[in-house]
Every structure is written in structure tokens, then in C-alpha cells.
Structure 1
Amino acid sequence: MLFALADSRLPIGGHVHSGGVEEAVASGLVRDVRSVELYLRRRIRTSGLVAASLAAAVCLGELSVERAELEADARTPAPAARTASRAQGRGLLRLAKQLWPQEDWARLGARPHLSTVFGVVGAASGVSAQEIAGVVVYTTLTGAATAAQRLLALDPAAIAMCTVRLAELCDQTAAAAVTGLAALSDPLQDVLAERHPHRDMPLFAS
């Protein structure tokens, strides 16, 4: 189950989101494998940790769906980033309804945050809070890494090795996510998210 949820082929629309990488490339901040890795480390420690902590709290039953949505909004200052999260949440929700039809998915509404849906999916599938947090962190990493590889025409093997080097950080972040709600943001990612919708003919939705 965990391998399936973490698979980049999971049909939730993640392949059309770059996690800010497209704008970072356009701005000259990400240029090569080294700068990709630095960006990914920053993303894991901020966006990844926040989303994973929210998903873990929902999975544990510490946050209701309604409260989780409010907490996610409060921790996502950029409107464009909130839109991206809800778009991917809608995709995961669509899949979850088919996999676990016995669950009450109506309580999530039409466009919930991705972290909220992952939390409910974690509870429905019987995985632990730290395991679902690990999936959230990992997908935060791989979506952006894959986008960088495509945008910069980088060697796929080099990007794969980059993600391997970040595996320990992902595990550490998932472990930290279950200790309580993270309350931090990254101004750089907020700026990149807000710039992106104004670009001419962007390749990614975010």
C-alpha cells in the first residue's frame, strides 16, 4: 500500500505540478543537479514537513477534517500554493473514493488539501501516522525532482542518485512530523508559487 501511494504513477495529477521548480528554473535559481538538490532539501524541510505533520495528525485522529483544512490554509500563505494543494487533493480524493468506498468521503468536500486527504487515506488503509507522513514527504520530493529533470534535461540517473542522498532527510522529516504540527513557511516558495500563474505558457500547473 505504501509503495503504491508513493509511486509517481499514482493518478492524482501530481505530474502536472512542479512544486515551484518551473519558476525556480525560470528565475535562474535552479540550474543543475547541485542546485536541484539544495532546492529539494529546502522543500523537504519546509513544505514537506508541514504537509506531513498535518497528514499525520489527521491519520491519528488528532485533527478533524474541518480543523485540518483551516490549519493547512493558515500554513500556506500563498493563494497559488493553496490552489495547487487543493487540486492535488481533489485528485487523491477521486482515487480514494474508488479504493475505499465504505469511507465517508463527503465530509472532505469537493476540493480538500492534499495533506488532509493523505491523512484520511492513511487511516482508511491502516498504515501508521509516520508511514503516511513518509509518503507525503517522499512525494513532495519526487514531484519536484522529476519536474527539474524534465525542465533542465538532466541525467535521470543523476536525479535518482540525488533522491537517494535525500532518503535519510526524508525519514528524519517523517519522524519529526508525528511529534506535532509544524508551523513554518518558506517565503521563497511562496514567491515562486505566486509568480508562476503569471508566466506566459507555463508547462506545469504550479
Structure 2
Amino acid sequence: MGAGLLLLGDSRLPAGGHAHSGGLENAVARGEVHDLDTLTDFLLGRLYGSGAVQGAFAACAALVAGPYALDAHGPWAELDTELDARTPSAPSRAASRAQGRSLRRIARAAWPEEPWTALGVSPHHAVVLGAAATRARLDEREAAVLAVTNTVNGPASAAVKLLSFDPIAVTVVLAEMAGHCDQVAEEAADAARTVHADGDWDRLPAWSAPGLDVCAELHAREEVVHFAS
């Protein structure tokens, strides 16, 4: 269990996350993030917005996938549609799908016997992450933890590069957010269990963060950028 969590949570996993800042690059360019305090505010906004949604969908995908073999007949199309509806920004949707394709390639190489094509042509990252988590012998809560922490770890890493922050100071910021991440992941897993039991997709979190959507849209229009999103 612990090894699987470390494997899928490893920043060295070549799933494309290193190429995405989660909107941070545009926030830095506009001066909205310029020190550790404003970085913390940005990360908390992502956590309670995108993090809650991503965590719930990863947990739901883990439940749909099943603990023994990937369910090729699961409601993958419905999950995809619901997550699309909760991701208003087209560039954000594209970034999610790009990372999802990369992670699915890794999952296919690690567990070639599973029907990964059932997830769709270009699945969202959280959906692939949840399905892959079950193959690594993780449960829905651990899948939520992976997705939730992913929404803050990526931008935090980008902040070190964009603003030349002390990596230790940024790590302290993340450590202080650990309790928040656990809370969001637990609530996300609870929501996924409820939906898995009654099939009411509307009960999955639909928190929004308009500021992050604006960052994504403006970033997509820039001619020169360091990160894909």
C-alpha cells in the first residue's frame, strides 16, 4: 500500500506534471503571486477548488475500476462528461487530458493486462489516476490524496523555478498545508462513496475557482511561456 502511494505520488513519474504550473505562471506574470504568503493563498485556492473536484473524481474512478481487475464496462464516459462540466476553461481541460494520456501510457506499461482503452481516447488525469491507484493496491481515499496533493505540488514546484524561491521554504509551505490536504481528500472520498452507491453524479463536488480559469485562459494566449499551463 505505502509503496504504491509513493510510486504514483513521485514527482519523477513521467506523466507530464512537470510541464504544468496549474495557472501559477500567469498569476506570477500579473504580480498576483510574488512571495510565500501569496503563494500560500494561491495554493489554498487551488486545493479547495480544483483539489476537491480532482480528489472526488480520482476516488470515484478508483471505486469504478474495482479492486481486482479494471472494469472495462464502467461508467467512464459519464465520469469524463461530469469532469468536463466542472472544468470551465478549455486550456485547463486540455492540460488535464494531456496529463491523463501520459499517465495512461505509464499505467499500460506497468499493468499491460488491463483494458486501459476503456477509459477513452483522451481521459482526464484524475480519472486515470484513480484507476491506476487501484492497480497499485490503493483504495479510494488514497487515490483522493494523490489527486489532491497533485493540485498543489505542481504549482509549488513551478514557483521555485519562476520566482527563485528557496525550495526548503516552499516545502515548509506544503508541510503546513498537509492537514488541509487530508481534510479535502477525506471529504472527496466520502462524496465518491456516496455517488458510487446511488449513482447520482450531481453529488460529486463542483467547486469553482474563476480566478484560476482566468489564469488558464490568459496563459493560453501568451506567445512565450515556461509551462504548458
Q: State the partner residue of 1:196.
A: 219
* Residue 111 (str. 1) matches residue 134 (str. 2): no
Q: What is the distance in 2 between the residues matched to 1:153 and 1:175?
A: 33
C-alpha separation in 2, matches of 1:125 and 1:3: 10
Alignment partner for residue 138 of structure 1, among 149, 156, 176?
149
| Deviation sequence 1:68-112 (CA, Å, 0-9, x none) | 100110000000100000010011001000111111011122311
User: Normalising by structure 2, what TM-score?
Assistant: 0.88
Q: SS state of the match for residue 179, structure 1?
A: helix
Whole-angstrom CA distance in 1 between matches of 2:158 and 2:34: 12
Say if 2:184 is the partner of 1:173.
yes
Distance 1:10 1:98 in 2: 13
Q: Deviations over 1:144-188 (max 9, x none)?
A: 100011100011110010000011111101001012121121100
What per-residue deviation string (whole Å, max 9, x for no partner) do you get for residues 120-146 of structure 1? 112222211000100111111110100
Structure 2 Cα separation of the partners of residues 59 and 108 of structure 1: 12
| Aligned counterparts, 1:1-206, within 5 A | 1-61=4-64, 64-180=75-191, 181-206=204-229
What amino acid sits opposite 1:164 in the alignment?
Answer: A
Q: Quick one: which amino acid aligns to residue 27 of structure 1?
A: R
State the alpha-carbon separation in 2 of the partners of residues 100 and 165 from structure 1: 35
Between the aligned partners of 1:67 and 1:127, the Cα distance in structure 2 is 23
Q: When the two structures are superposed, what TM-score results if normalisation uses the length of structure 1?
A: 0.97
- Give distance in 1, aligned partners of 2:98 and 2:208: 20
Which range moves more in the overlay, 118-127 or 132-141?
Answer: 118-127
Count matched residues: 206
Task: Give the secondary structure class of the aligned counterpart of 1:131.
Answer: helix
Q: Which secondary structure does the structure 2 equivalent of 1:61 belong to? A: helix
Q: Which AA in structure 2 matches 1:6?
A: G
User: After the TM superposition, which segments of 4 or more aligned residues of structure 1 sit over 4 Å from their partners?
Assistant: none
Q: How far 1:59 sits from its partner (Å)? A: 0.8
Structure-1 separation of matches of 2:218 and 2:110: 36
Unaligned runs of 5+ in 2: 66-73, 192-203
8 A contact 1:58–1:64 mirrored in 2 = no
1:36 is displaced (CA, Å) by 0.5
Superposed CA deviations along residues 24-47 of structure 1, whole A, max 9, x for unmatched, are 000111001111111001101110
